[in-house]
Amino acid sequence: MRLQSRNPVSTSAARPTSAAPGHVRAALVALFGGAALLAGLAAAGREPSFKGDVPYEPTPHAVVNAMIELADVRSGDVVYDLGCGDGRIVIAAVRRPGVTGVCVEIDPDLLRRSRANAARAGVAERIRFVEGDLFETPIADATVVTLYLWPHVNLRLRPRLLSELRPGTRVVSHSHDMGDWAPERRVVVSTGPKEAVLYRWTIPPR
Ligand SMILES: C[S@@+](CC[C@H](N)C(=O)[O-])C[C@H]1O[C@@H](n2cnc3c(N)ncnc32)[C@H](O)[C@@H]1O
């Protein structure tokens, strides 16, 4: 696995402005990205239906490790994965000493799978499992939030991250940025033939 730091777009944790072009660009990316994904599912003969705002697509394990590194997960952290799928990010995070996690997932089958995976890994007692909508789940006690959603979902979530999370909380997103809220770090992870882009922000002082 190769972890490259590319274009540190900003080293500050500046608050975003509400400039329209970033939103328009993100909306177009979301629209065409979503259409491509649904077309791909249809072509593969799979039902293009999912329970929440984004279909399930697991983060590769090497990328999970890079997200945890980028978030600088350490003792005392409470790591939330919003849309946790099979729980792999939170499970990997709580393997670090002194870390606890919260796995928020709208799909009950996936949440069951994440519970079973955590039990198999021997870390279930360090994770709280929440079956529900990430937009309605309280997140104020997080010190790290991880995301692998869609661009327009990140943008919808952004005001809540900025208003509910405590200053200093780290947010790491797989693949998608936050429009005109510049990340403090952007890294590219190479895993064989594929590359994943990760973004990190820190909640600024209020
Ligand atoms: C792309 S997958 C990422 C899974 C996991 N975070 C990972 O990186 O391996 C997105 C996940 O978000 C869940 N999801 C989508 N909309 C949601 C919502 N509104 N509330 C909670 N979970 C949601 C999906 O069911 C899916 O498991």
pLDDT tens digits for 33-92? 444 444 444 444 444 578 899 999 999 999 999 999 999 999 999 999 999 999 999 999
Under 8 Å between Cβ of 183 and 154: no
Distance 97 CA to ligand 1 centre (A): 26
Distance 176 CA to ligand 1 centre (A): 14
Nearest to 34 by CA among 52, 55, 5, 57: 55
Q: 97, exposed or middle or buried, with CB in 10 Å at 0-12, 13-18, 19+?
A: exposed
Sign of the CA dihedral running 24, 34, 137, 182:
negative
Under 8 Å between Cβ of 140 and 111: no
Q: Residue 178 has what DSSP assignment?
A: -
Domains of the chain, with CATH numbers? 2-202 (3.40.50.150)
DSSP three-state, residue 41: helix
Q: Given the DSSP bridges, would you call strands 170-174 and 2-5 parallel, antiparallel or unpaired?
A: unpaired
pLDDT at 159: 98
Distance 118 CA to ligand 1 centre (A): 17
- pTM above threshold 0.85: no
DSSP three-state, residue 43: helix
Q: Which two tokens mark 104?
A: 């928020």
What would the pLDDT profile of 137-189 be if each residue is shown by its tens digit? 999 999 999 999 999 999 999 999 999 999 999 999 999 999 999 999 999 99
User: Does pLDDT of 29 surpass 50?
Assistant: no
pLDDT at 37: 45
- Whether 81 lines ligand 1, by a CB cut-off of 6 Å, is yes
Distance 103 CA to ligand 1 centre (A): 10
Distance 14 CA to ligand 1 centre (A): 27
Distance 182 CA to ligand 1 centre (A): 23
Q: Which two tokens mark 55?
A: 């279909």
For residue 83, which atom of ligand 1 is closest to its CA?
A: 12
Q: Which of 134, 139, 155 to mutate to test the pocket of ligand 1 (most atoms within 8 A of CB)?
A: 134
Residue type, 116: A
Phi, psi for 196 (deg, rounded to 5): -125, 140
Residue nearest to atom 2 of ligand 1 (CA): 56
For residue 81, which atom of ligand 1 is closest to its CA?
A: 6
